Amino acid sequence: MANTLQKCAEILVEHGYGYCIPTTFNFIPHEGAVYLQMVKQPDPFQANQYVEVNPFADNIEGIHQLHAIENWLHRNHQGLLIMCKDAVQSAPLSKYDGYKKRKDRIEWCVEELMK
């Protein structure tokens, strides 16, 4: 999963969602977590300069990241999105589980890009 999150962070930077993937922090990061720098010049006295990359989390930040990755895929890898509709076979879903199906498809696409 760490490699998938690293690839997601690279896509988000290329998409313009964040500025870079930082290597130094003014806080202690969680082990195995990937972060994105959200401001151009970090200020040690300002909060919320970094966000944890996890587009598969069920929170607002995760949903925003998932949308950004999906937009990037639409612009740069339309064929991959078409292929994933046939490749990702989810269990029968209720009519309210479209978000989970979409999340599975985007995760499949990111993993294919890593190959």
What pTM did the predictor assign? 0.84
Q: In angstroms, rounded to a whole number, what is the distance separating the alpha carbons of residues 61 and 38?
A: 12
Please give the tally of structural domains in the chain.
Answer: 1
Tokens, residue 60: 């607002």
Q: In angstroms, rounded to a whole number, what is the distance separating the alpha carbons of residues 5 and 66?
A: 11
State which residues form the domain around 78: 2-114
Distance of CA 16 to the CA centre of its chain: 12
Instruction: Give pLDDT tens digits for 50-100.
Output: 889 999 998 999 999 999 999 999 999 988 888 887 666 655 555 557 788
Instruction: Give pLDDT tens digits for 19-44.
Output: 998 877 767 778 778 989 888 877 77
